[in-house]
Amino acid sequence: MEKKSNRFGNGLHFLKTKVVVGYLLISLVAVISMFFIVNNMRSLSPFDTSGEVTKEKMYALNETYYNLYTSECLIGEALVLPSKYKDYVLISDSIRKQIEELKELFAEQEQIELLDTLSLLLDQKRNNVQSLVLLSANSSIDELYRQHFLKTIEENDSLLCNRVVEQTVTVVSDTITYQRPSQKKKSFFRRIFSSSEPEDTVVEVRSMEYSVTDSLLSSYNPADTINKIFESLKSQVREKKLNIDKSMMDNMVEIQKTNKVINVKMNKIIHQLQEEDWNNALSAFDGREASLGKVMSYLRNFIVVAVFLLFILVMMVWRDINIYKKYNNQLRLANQRTLNLMDSREKMMLSVAHDIKAPLGSIIGYIELLDNNKLNVKQSYYLDNMKSSSEHILHLVTDILDFNRLDAGGVELNPLPFNSRSLFEDVVATFRPQAEKKNLRLEFKFTSDSERTMLVGDPLRIRQIVHNLISNAVKFTQIGKVSLAVSLTKVDEKNCTLSIVVSDTGVGISPENQKTIFKEYVRVETDSSVPVEGFGLGLSILRKLVDIHKGTISLESELGKGSTFKVTLPLTYSDEQAMPKSNFQERKDSPRVLVIDDDPSQLTMISEQLKSRGLTCTACEDPYSALDVIEKNTFDIILSDIQMPGFNGFEIVKRVRSGNFPNAKTIPVIALSARADISLSKFRKHGFTSFLNKPFTCDQLIGEIAKHLDLSESCVSSNSLRTVIPSSSGFKNILAYAGGDVKAEFEILSSFLTETQKNVVELERLQTSGEVHTAGRLAHKMLAIFKLVADASLVEWLTELEKEKSGVLADRKRFDENRRKIDLLVKEGMKELARIRKML
């Protein structure tokens, strides 16, 4: 099993390692793939530098275009208003600067040469515009007439009568203009994407001039002369005007040609930029497509690798999980077997503890009886050792049972009014003999900030807490003292805090042991001079009891100097006043007790037990007639069994509380039952005052009655004790309840045997008819006595019958086996009864 556990643990470790490594590999592949994907995605970024440069070129070119059109508008305005020529000059300079900026943006030599050509054309155009503006300023008719008139007067200041031979030379010019296409060959893309504009051309102008001379002889005539002067003036003005108009026309034509060339150059640059932009777009598209292809390739590879790794990881995890399930099932089965063994061991331990407790009570009782006789020193020494050992075993058994009940949550507080000072004084008094025997000082101090000492709490559990603390202090202290300091601190009118401090000058507890001292089965290891006894459950029980009270516990200890335990419990004040207890013998009449039980043997035993202690007892076997008995008589306390046929104890207490007799609401009603699955709170909820679990000792019964009647438990004097008849039979447990009274022993045993024989016959009938429920009630009635006289297997069988487990009653073989055990028990009882009869 240990080997499998190791393999299982290693498998879990390797499974975690495989999962972690698998995820790391997948993450690594993902990171590498993302690295390549991000690198390729950068080429898909919208921030393309080449595209931005192209856009910048287009923007600058468009701005140049805009300024060119603006300059064209200014040319027309300058012809009308020569002052606008300055604006034209400014915008021409701006265009010149923009062309220079374009040169910096363009990288190809061809484009730079085009821009240089544009600069020359713009300069030529500027000169033409300047000439045109000057011609426009001198083209006025009046100005021409004035100029030629003054010139004519200067030339003809006298009249001559001579004949004048006038020779006229006429010059005729002929101009031929033709265009020759450019010899530069365009590229393939430029031919495709170029517009339908005319190709680049070279303008050639060829002029031909020839003169014609004409001479005329004329005679002088003043009238003719004046007329001739005016005709000459008119002719000159007309000729001048024609020359000016021709020059202006030539300039305009030149400007148009220049504009046309400029437009061609600009369009060519634009087309080149468009082609460049298109090429950039195609290149970017191709680059993006290639990058996307790489990204998709990386993604495909990543998915393939990831799926492959995931498949391997899933297969490995699936295999490990199957192994884990296999080992887990094996461990679960082994754990279940272990739990079953532990449960069986616990049940056996509890059963043994229960079986030990009753005989120990009898042993201690017999020791007390022997102690009342006259014994020599040696006999007293033996008796003291027997008593000490018996009490020690009883203490261990009680610790086991208490721890089991506390661990299972079966312990509930039973709040009752009690005198706190008296409780602690009683506890201290019980430990004084032990302290004096070890030469220890046992100190007690009680303080309260209020005169009220009556509290409401569970005195039994508080007594147990103090008892455990003082017991440990006395046990581990060899020299010095043990002190108990109790203080009551008032919180408000109803609530207070009970502080219990137990200090000793013993061996002390090391810091390491202080961390585990309150755990179960932990014992403080000391030197060999101090004996260590017990199972190590005392402080664990103490801690659980404090937790039930919702209190606190603390420890201060120094090794070799002693320890101090402090317990604080929240309690409430009681409105009742402390009443002095009285002895049964001090009463003029003894307390009257009513006992209700359908089992005659139990009824007889309890009745004889109470009578032996001086109480007046009325026994009632029929629960139906018990109500009439209660109404017709007066009782101080009622003891009632719980599980009875037809009319159980809960119904009885309900009828009692709703009765018409005087103390119906206040009379103490104590429940008697062998069942441990019913809590005290449930009994109180149904009207019971308290609960006593079967089997119980005579002292427990008397103590419970005395607690509710405010009486002393020391009601039995030494004279009332009789000599105990020794018996080796198994009936000594129930005979011990007779307190040594032979007659009472005879009645108890006789009643038990008679009822047992009747019950066996009834069980036989119920087994034949299969009445499981009725058999369970009968088994419950038999269990209380059989737990004292029968062996464990017979008690276990009756317990299963009581719980009505399926198949128990129908198992004939087991029934016959236990029937024979009962018959043997009855046979032994008959022998014991015959022996007791001889003593009467």
Nearest to 536 by CA among 384, 387, 400: 400
Q: pLDDT, tens digit, for every residue of 83-100?
A: 777 887 888 888 888 878
The CB density around residue 429, as the number of other CB atoms within 10 Å, is: 11
pLDDT at 697: 64
* pLDDT tops 50 at residue 671: yes
Mean per-residue pLDDT for 163-189? Answer: 52
Measured distance CA(50)–CA(12) in Å, rounded: 60
Q: Which residue in 419, 565, 541 sits closest to 483, CA to CA? A: 565
**Is residue 486 very low, low, confident or very high in pLDDT (cuts 50, 70, 90)?**
very high
Amino acid sitting at position 31? V
Q: Does position 52 have pLDDT exceeding 90, yes or no?
A: no
Distance, C-alpha 119 to centroid of its chain: 80
Q: In what order do the strands lie in the sheet with 690-693?
A: 616-620, 592-596, 637-641, 669-673, 690-693
pLDDT for 525 equals: 60
Q: Measure the CA–CA gap between 279 and 276, rounded to whole angstroms.
A: 5
Minimum mean pLDDT range among 79-83, 201-205, 423-427, 485-489: 201-205
- Which among 409, 420, 504 is positioned nearest to 458, based on CA atoms? 420
Cα Rg of the chain, angstroms:
66
CA distance 154 to 143: 17
Higher pLDDT, 495 or 534: 495
- Work out the mean pLDDT of the chain and round it to a whole number: 74
Which range (28-32, 274-278, 460-464, 508-512) has the least confidence?
274-278
pLDDT higher at 778 or 805: 778
- DSSP calls for 761-783: HHHHHHHHHT-HHHHHHHHHHHH
- Token pair of 202 as six digits: 């070279």
Of 191-200, 217-226, 277-286, 785-794, the one with minimum mean pLDDT is: 191-200
Per-residue pLDDT reduced to its tens digit, 434-449? 888 888 899 999 998 8
Where does the pLDDT of residue 585 fall: very low under 50, low under 70, confident under 90, or very high at 90 and above? very low
Q: Which of 4-13, 233-242, 710-719, 814-823 has the lowest mean pLDDT?
A: 710-719
**Whole-number pLDDT of residue 297:** 79
User: How many CB atoms are located within 10 Å of the residue 304 CB?
Assistant: 11
User: Which is more confident, 628 or 254?
Assistant: 628
Contact of 416 with 457, CB cutoff 8 Å? yes
Mean pLDDT lowest for which of 186-195, 302-311, 381-390, 601-610?
A: 186-195
pLDDT-wise least confident of 55-69, 274-288, 364-378, 574-588: 574-588
Lowest mean pLDDT among 217-221, 223-227, 709-713: 217-221
pLDDT band at 232 (very low <50, low <70, confident <90, very high): low
For the ranges 127-136, 160-169, 255-264, 590-599, the lowest mean pLDDT is seen at: 160-169
DSSP-based helix, strand, coil % in the chain, nearest 5:
65, 15, 25
Whole-angstrom distance, CA of residue 731 vs CA of residue 147:
173
| Residues 6 or more apart in contact with residue 761 via CB below 8 angstroms | none
Instruction: Supply φ then ψ for residue 675, to 5 degrees.
Output: -80, 135
Is the CB of residue 67 less than 8 Å from the CB of residue 91? Answer: yes
Choose between 182 and 242: higher pLDDT: 242
Which amino acid is located at 498 in the chain? L
C-alpha distances out from residue 238 to 150, 234, 379, 554, Å: 16, 6, 179, 137
User: Tokens in use for 337?
Assistant: 């077997």
Q: What are the C-alpha distances in Å from 129 to residues 141, 249, 568, 734, 800?
A: 21, 12, 117, 148, 132
The top-scoring range by mean pLDDT among 44-48, 716-720, 760-764 is 760-764
pLDDT at 445: 92
Kindly state the tokens that stand for 147.
């100029």
* CA distances in angstroms from 762 to 86, 758, 765, 779, 795, listed in the order given: 143, 6, 5, 11, 18
Question: What pLDDT was estimated at residue 568?
Answer: 93
- CA–CA gap between residue 403 and residue 397 (Å, rounded): 10
pLDDT band at 670 (very low <50, low <70, confident <90, very high): very high
Contact 547/568 with Cβ under 8 angstroms?
A: no
251 pLDDT exceeds 90? no
503 and 557 in contact (C-beta within 8 Å)? no
pLDDT value for 724: 36
Which residues share a beta bridge with 503?
Answer: 483, 564
Q: Which of 379-393, 484-498, 523-537, 676-690 has the lowest mean pLDDT?
A: 523-537
More confident residue, 450 or 408: 450
Output DSSP code: residue 789: H
Q: Is the pLDDT score of 291 beyond 60?
A: yes
- From CA 29, how far away is CA 602, in angstroms rounded? 84
Asked if residue 204 has pLDDT above 80, the reply is no
Provide mean pLDDT across the span 525-545: 64
The reported pLDDT for the residue numbered 161 is: 46
The amino acid at 487? S
Whole-angstrom distance, CA of residue 196 vs CA of residue 271: 11
Q: 171 and 210 in contact (C-beta within 8 Å)?
A: yes
pLDDT at 589 over 70: no
pLDDT class for 497, splitting at 50, 70, 90? very high
pLDDT of residue 824: 86
Please, which residues bridge with residue 671 across strands? 640, 691
Range with the poorest average pLDDT among 222-236, 527-541, 708-722, 773-787: 708-722
Q: Which of 568-572, 605-609, 733-737, 767-771 has the lowest mean pLDDT?
A: 733-737
Beta strands at 495-504 and 562-573: parallel, antiparallel or unpaired: antiparallel
Using pLDDT thresholds of 50, 70 and 90, give the confidence band for residue 128.
Answer: confident
For the segment 266-287, the average pLDDT, to the nearest whole number, is: 71
Nearest to 605 by CA among 592, 617, 589: 617
pLDDT band at 227 (very low <50, low <70, confident <90, very high): low
For the cut 80, the answer to whether the pLDDT of residue 286 exceeds it is: no
Residue 534 has pLDDT above 70, yes or no: no
Choice between 576 and 629, residue whose per-residue pLDDT is larger: 629
First to last CA, the chain: 65
With a cut of 70, say whether residue 145 has pLDDT above it. no
Number of other CB atoms surrounding residue 565 within 10 Å: 23
- Element at 292 (helix H, strand E): helix 222-371
